[in-house]
Amino acid sequence: METPKLSPSQLTGPEWLQAKRAGSLTSYNDLPLPQRGLHLWRYTDPRTFVIDSAEATTTSVESTFADVARVEKQHFDDGHLDALVIDNQGQTITSDLSADASAAGLVAGSLTAALDSHRELAERYLYALVNTAFGKFEAMNGALWQDGVFVYVPDNAVLTRPIHLLREAGTNGSRQFPRLLVIVGANAEATVIDEYGGGADEAGDTPSYSNGVVEVFGGAGSRTRYISLQRHGRGMNAYLTHRAQIANDASMVTVPLAFGGATTKQNFGVNLNGRGANSEMAGLLFGGNYQHFDNHTLHHHTVGDTYSNIDYRVALKDRALSAYTGLIRIDQKAKNCEAYQENRNLLLNPGTRAETIPELEILNEDVSCSHGATVGPIDPLMLFYLTCRGIPTDVATRMIVSGFVASTFDKIPSDARERVAAIVESRLGDI
Amino acid sequence: MANGLFSFSDVHVEVEGKEVVRGASLTVNPGEIHAIMGPNGSGKSSLSHGLMGHPAYEITSGTVTLNGADLTEMEADERSRTGLFLAFQYPLAIPGVTVANFLRAALQAHRGPDADMSDFRSLVKGEMDALGIKHDFATRYVNDGFSGGEKKRLEILQMAVLGPRMAILDETDSGLDIDALKTVAEGINRFSGQDNGVLLVTHYQRLLNYVQPDFVHVMMDGRLVKSGGKELAVKLEEQGYEWIEAEVAEMAGAN
């Protein structure tokens, strides 16, 4: 299929960035559409993410956005956050920082502003992980993002409270290209909650569109927690590529949470680039109606003495579909690595569908590695055990599902846990 | 025959279309402890599961009553709320659900959705102390990574908290060391009282050294073939089941 060529009215930013954007645009226009049925596109039609105009659009998001923004503002005012950044449709970025965080040197706010204020960092890290080499849709974001979010935690700074980012999309027919760059310095510590909301509310609406990129860098000895909370409206088609890179003795916890959207394709990956690096991923997806989720994870061990673990959990009801592909790649010279991966899928009724594809590319033999996957309904024996203690079947079912998601919940900072619990609770409501 | 507290009459149980209990009848009066013994594969566990309402163990004919209520057509949760309890031979792990949440949900279901639960903590702590269970047990996930002894203790804890009228204990002694066995037996003895009944289902008479049954029944090939007192269990322990098999065969021949 011929996809429309994009020609934005302008490629914004300083000269070096304009060159990046121009390169990205050329790549987007030159690269063919990924072939349906080939690797990573077996379950999702790539045309879902094609657009016919390069211009981002915005709509008023007052209605869907105000409530959550108010709650988070309150959290910030009550001293539960080190920063609150509000990203309105990739165009207007506003931020508040706590006094402690400012004193510690935290920068959290507009990416465009950081191009001037932190030019060296921006030029060094932006596009370093997700660039034109990645693929057509990543190149589209690279060309078209307008403003994004920049988070910089200086070396040795320890932030005890979350940096909460609210990334709000426009409603029906809107297009946005959210971008995020997080740099956590050596021996620094930070938690980033990256929350995506908004978009067309209902599946029948004119769809909204989002194409996002996230790059996260963890310096030597740093400790980073990154939570991606996707709770878009049911009329949103969203594509997101996340890549993180961690240096020696750095640890990173990545928590991809997916609840919203119509068709969404998200790709989360961490490169373990230094000895002693440690990466945990705890994913949770809860789909309903006719939602279509296509998710990938990657743990790439480029050096030895590194550890990674993935626990990706999926619960589906109604007619929802999830396809999960989890890749562990261990380079030839990366000896003495440990890498584990597990994907569990709970099908709450017939008519749901879950595909799970574990992939291992392990190029040396001096590793400990395991992967596992399960797909199935609630264990009837588990249900019997609860019901024969007097617990009615519907309550018992909800208990089992709550238990299923509990291990992921433990990894979610309390600031976001309440909202995630409310989403899960509402999904469980009519089971 | 008196209706008693708990009784089942000519119960047949099928698993995957195969009849594994072929007409079993028993009446338990308040305050009585009964034991059903029998060799492996005799249908003891199938009977227990069928009585509790396991979906895979269908009661195809016969009736089960508890305290005047007909349980036969009830779902498992209704049977429980009517006062029936089954301690599992192999309790299930429920990952992510804590013991405290599980016990609370079960007790709430028994008392009713609006019932006062303010005594819950002290009730559970008291029963935990009595069973020698550490309090941090309550925050662990149900049976997840539990030792055999811990699982059986949790079964007895559930029984103590829910206070059923009739408790069936399926091979509760299996896999227990002597200390755990004594603790579990003490739990059963403490539970057993004038108003409730106990049915021990067991392969060995080891547990019966610590919990004295009033009646012992022998199950073979899906039927309860012989009943007696405590001495029957002792004889089975000493002589095995062959002599009963012979006796049953002889009776069948005579008929």
Structural domain includes residue B124: no
pLDDT digit string, tens, across residues B70-102: 999 999 999 999 999 999 999 999 999 999 999
Q: Tell me how far CA of residue A68 lies from CA of A213, B89, B162, in angstroms.
A: 23, 49, 42
> Across-strand partners of B166?
B84, B197
CATH code assigned at B231: 3.40.50.300
Q: Confirm if A401 and A428 have CB atoms less than 8 A apart.
A: yes
What is the tally of helices (H) and strands (E) in chain A?
Answer: 9, 20
pLDDT digit string, tens, across residues A140-193: 999 999 999 999 999 999 999 999 999 999 999 999 999 999 999 999 999 999
Domain carrying residue B82 = 6-91+167-254
| Helix (H), strand (E), coil (C) string for B133-186 | CCHHHHHCEECCCCCHHHHHHHHHHHHHHHCCCEEEEECCCCCCCHHHHHHHHH
Quickly count: other Cβ atoms within 10 Å of residue A319's Cβ: 16
pLDDT digit string, tens, across residues B189-208: 999 999 999 999 998 888 99
Tally of structural domains, chain B = 1
Tell me, what's the pLDDT at B116?
95
Closest-CA residue of chain A to B77: A390
Separation in Å, CA of A381 to nearest CA in chain B = 7
Tell me, what's the pLDDT at A39?
81
Angle at Cα A209 formed by Cα A203 and Cα A212, nearest 5°? 130
Between chain A and chain B, the number of residue pairs with CB atoms below 8 A apart is: 79
Q: Confirm if A312 and A283 have CB atoms less than 8 A apart.
A: yes
Which of the residues in chain A have pLDDT under 70?
1-2, 62-64
Interface test with B, best of A389, A391, A401 (most B CBs within 10 A): A389
Give SS3 for B126.
Answer: helix
On whether any CB of chain A is under 8 Å from the CB of B56, the answer is yes
Quick check: A389 and B88 CB within 8 A?
A: no
Q: Which regions of A145-291 does DSSP assign to beta strands (E)?
A: 149-153, 163-169, 175-176, 179-184, 189-198, 208-218, 223-230, 236-246, 251-258, 263-272, 278-287
> Across-strand partners of A158?
A189
pLDDT digit string, tens, across residues A358-403: 999 999 999 999 999 999 999 999 999 999 999 999 999 999 999 9
pLDDT bucket at B48, cuts 50 / 70 / 90: very high
On whether any CB of chain B is under 8 Å from the CB of A16, the answer is no
Closest-CA residue of chain B to A390: B77
Mean pLDDT score of chain A: 94
Structural domain includes residue B127: no
Quick check: A388 and B76 CB within 8 A?
A: yes
Q: Tell me how far CA of residue A409 lies from CA of A148, A226, A313, in angstroms.
A: 28, 14, 11
Tell me, what's the pLDDT at A4?
86
pLDDT bucket at B254, cuts 50 / 70 / 90: low
Q: Confirm if A89 and A174 have CB atoms less than 8 A apart.
A: yes
Structural domain includes residue B176: yes
- Nearest Cα neighbor of B29 from B60, B72, B66, B75 is B66
Structural domain includes residue B117: no
User: Which strands, in side-by-side order, build the sheet including A367-376?
Assistant: A92-97, A83-88, A163-169, A189-198, A223-230, A251-258, A278-287, A307-316, A337-347, A367-376
Rounded to an integer, the average pLDDT of B166-185 is: 92
Tell me, what's the pLDDT at B175?
83
On whether any CB of chain B is under 8 Å from the CB of A381, the answer is yes
Angle at Cα A403 formed by Cα A399 and Cα A405, nearest 5°? 120
Structural domain includes residue B28: yes
**Is the complex ipTM higher than 0.90?**
yes
Contacts of B96 in chain A (CB under 8 A): 402-407
Contacts of B88 in chain A (CB under 8 A): 385
Rounded-to-integer distance, Cα A45 and Cα A428, Å: 29
Quick check: B102 and A386 CB within 8 A?
A: yes
Separation in Å, CA of A264 to nearest CA in chain B = 28
Rounded-to-integer distance, Cα A69 and Cα A51, Å: 29
Mean pLDDT score of chain B: 93
Quick check: A403 and B95 CB within 8 A?
A: yes
Tell me, what's the pLDDT at B3?
67
B216 pLDDT higher than 70: yes
Quick check: B106 and A390 CB within 8 A?
A: yes
By Cβ distance, the residue of B81, B88, B105 closest to A399 is: B105
Contacts of B97 in chain A (CB under 8 A): 399-400, 402-403, 406
Quick check: B141 and A403 CB within 8 A?
A: yes
- The separation between CA A209 and the C-alpha centre of its own chain, rounded to angstroms, equals 16
Structural domain includes residue B113: no
